[in-house]
Amino acid sequence: MFHRDHLKPWGAALALVACVAAGPSASVAADAVTTVDVSKFAFGPKEITVAPGTRVRWINHDEVPHTVASTQGQEKVIGSKALDTDDQYEIAFQKEGDFGYYCTVHPFMTGVVHVHKQ
Ligand SMILES: [Cu+2]
């Protein structure tokens, strides 16, 4: 009980920090979300091109868990937990570049997010 009361202000503080951090990008691309379907052991579309500030959301439609992780050797921009059926993972891409990724459970599953000003 005592512990819980102390955790609450922390949660609020963290949420506030997250809001402030996301602030500047929100004005660039308000609700731009691009969805990648994880289905039949593949990412679809396999390659996407988005503007900086776009949120990319992966949704697992398979009956087995998948992950989304930056290609080994690349900067770790993408890193989801195991996604069960219908689970989602979403991140915003701010920097321009080509971000390759794969499923750590099935490494043959690969994809690329190209982030470029359009
Ligand atoms: Cu997988």
| Count of CB atoms situated within 10 Å of the CB of 32 | 15
Residues surrounding ion ligand 1 at CB below 5 Å: 66, 103, 105-106, 109
Give tens-digit pLDDT for 49-98: 999 999 999 999 999 999 999 999 999 999 999 999 999 999 999 999 99
Total tally of structural domains belonging to the chain: 1
Portion of the chain with pLDDT greater than 90, in percent = 72
pLDDT at 118: 78
State CA 116 to chain mean position distance: 17
70 within a domain of the structure (yes/no): yes
21 within a domain of the structure (yes/no): no
Residue 27 pLDDT greater than 60, yes or no: no
100 is in which domain, residue-wise? 29-115
What CATH number is attached to the domain comprising 57? 2.60.40.420
Is this structure's pTM higher than 0.85?
A: no
Helix (H, G, I), strand (E, B) or coil at 12: helix
34 within a domain of the structure (yes/no): yes
Nearest C-alpha neighbor of 95 from the set 68, 115, 65: 115
pLDDT at 100: 98
Ligand 1 centroid to 77 CA: how many Å?
A: 18
Ligand 1 centroid to 105 CA: how many Å?
A: 5
